[in-house]
């Protein structure tokens, strides 16, 4: 627990409201309650600020008139948020062996594993050699974990899940804020990873924990080797994703999507159900209709890519124009 005034001193903010308000945690603007702190970056999210029920909000001066609650006023909201996240990061116990508080059903645990504080492991699970299960992780029945897997604090693994060697679940997301001097400040990711039932995860795949809410892998998902899933991504039920694909933060995939190898998916996108994406494609915009998609371009300067992209979009019109001209020539 920490007061609003104490947070203000750490992030160099001006308090508007009750500086003695006790803040229990951070949350998103849409779900925060009276003892939680949230943040609004700019005017684009003004309506979220107006509707927010948070105890306090980190904002810039320009949004102060629209703030319905206590405020921490700063020049750089994202940087202030980055610094604030570290005040709420939970520390792990750094256990050796199996912690005495762990609850383990009739499961097989290798002697070389590390099992943290308050871990719950269900029935008929196998945790193979040199795997690390950090504090407050829950692993449900009939899950098989191969050697050298790391499941970091607070994550949830569903039933009948298979996790191959080298997988890291709950790693820190790639979120950073830059100060005026150009130095980076890491954001502490406070969410978890929630994995559903009947999921398989291939070797050396990495799934980052959410920033404030959870990264989600829904039931029946199949993940190949060497995939990276960033913070706050949601993978819908029964999706299949091939090797070396990377999905940037906060993108949502619908159900039954099939993503080919080495696909790059930009962040903050929405991809509907039943989408197939061919290998090596880049997805840089929402997909609202089911179907098969391909997007492959050779590497070039960004300016040249913009020009080529513009002409590609006009090819159908150019073709129609040329066909009309050709008919006119033949007629003459």
pLDDT in tens, 196-213: 999 999 999 999 999 999
Identify which of 89, 34, 79 has the alpha carbon closest to the alpha carbon of residue 57: 34
pLDDT at 2 over 80: yes
One domain, residues 137 and 246:
yes
Domain that holds residue 110: 103-293
pLDDT at 330 over 80: no
One domain, residues 108 and 219:
yes
One domain, residues 137 and 244:
yes
One domain, residues 13 and 123:
no
One domain, residues 40 and 139:
no
One domain, residues 35 and 162:
no
One domain, residues 15 and 136:
no
Task: Give domain status of residue 94, yes or no.
Answer: no
Global pTM? 0.89
Task: Give domain status of residue 222, yes or no.
Answer: yes
Query: pLDDT, tens digit, for every residue of 178-198?
Result: 999 999 999 999 999 999 999
What residues are labeled active site?
231
- CATH number where 70 lies: 3.40.1390.10
pLDDT at 243 over 90: yes
CB atoms within 10 A of CB 287: 18
Task: Give domain status of residue 195, yes or no.
Answer: yes
> How many distinct structural domains can be found in the chain?
3
Which phi and psi angles does 322 have, rounded to 5°?
-65, -35
One domain, residues 68 and 167:
no
Identify which of 209, 79, 219, 231 has the alpha carbon closest to the alpha carbon of residue 155: 209
pLDDT at 298 over 70: no
One domain, residues 259 and 285:
yes
Task: Give domain status of residue 98, yes or no.
Answer: no
One domain, residues 132 and 32:
no
């Amino acid at each position: 627990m920490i007061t609003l005034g104490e947070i203000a001193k750490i992030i160099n903010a001006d308090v508007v409201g009750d500086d003695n308000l006790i803040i229990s945690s951070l949350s998103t603007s849409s779900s925060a309650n009276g003892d939680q702190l949230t943040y609004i970056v700019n005017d684009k999210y003004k309506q979220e600020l107006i509707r927010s029920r948070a105890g306090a909000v980190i904002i810039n001066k320009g949004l102060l008139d629209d703030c319905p609650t206590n405020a921490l006023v700063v020049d750089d909201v994202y940087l202030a948020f980055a610094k604030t996240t570290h005040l709420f990061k939970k520390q792990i116990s750094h256990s050796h062996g199996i912690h005495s508080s762990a609850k383990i059903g009739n499961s097989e645990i290798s002697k070389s594993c590390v099992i943290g504080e308050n871990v719950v492991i269900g029935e008929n699970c196998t945790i193979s050699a040199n795997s690390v299960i950090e504090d407050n992780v829950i692993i449900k029945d009939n899950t098989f974990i191969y050697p050298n897997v790391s499941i970091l604090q607070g994550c949830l693994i569903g039933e009948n899940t298979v996790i191959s060697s080298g997988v890291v679940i709950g790693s820190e997301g790639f979120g950073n804020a830059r100060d005026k001097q150009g130095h980076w400040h890491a954001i502490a990711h406070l969410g978890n990873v929630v994995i559903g039932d009947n999921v398989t995860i291939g070797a050396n795949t990495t799934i980052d924990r959410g920033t404030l809410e959870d990264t989600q892998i829904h039931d029946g998902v199949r993940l190949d080797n060497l995939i990276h899933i960033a913070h706050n991504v949601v993978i819908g039920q029964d999706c299949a994703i091939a090797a070396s694909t990377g999905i940037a933060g906060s993108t949502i995939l619908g159900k039954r999507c099939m993503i080919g190898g080495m696909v790059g998916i930009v962040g903050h996108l929405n991809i509907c159900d039943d989408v197939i994406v061919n290998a090596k494609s880049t997805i840089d915009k929402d997909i609202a209709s089911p179907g098969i998609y391909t997007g492959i371009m050779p590497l070039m300067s960004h300016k040249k890519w913009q020009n080529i992209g513009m002409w590609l979009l006009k090819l159908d019109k150019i073709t129609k124009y040329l066909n009309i001209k050709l008919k006119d020539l033949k007629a003459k």
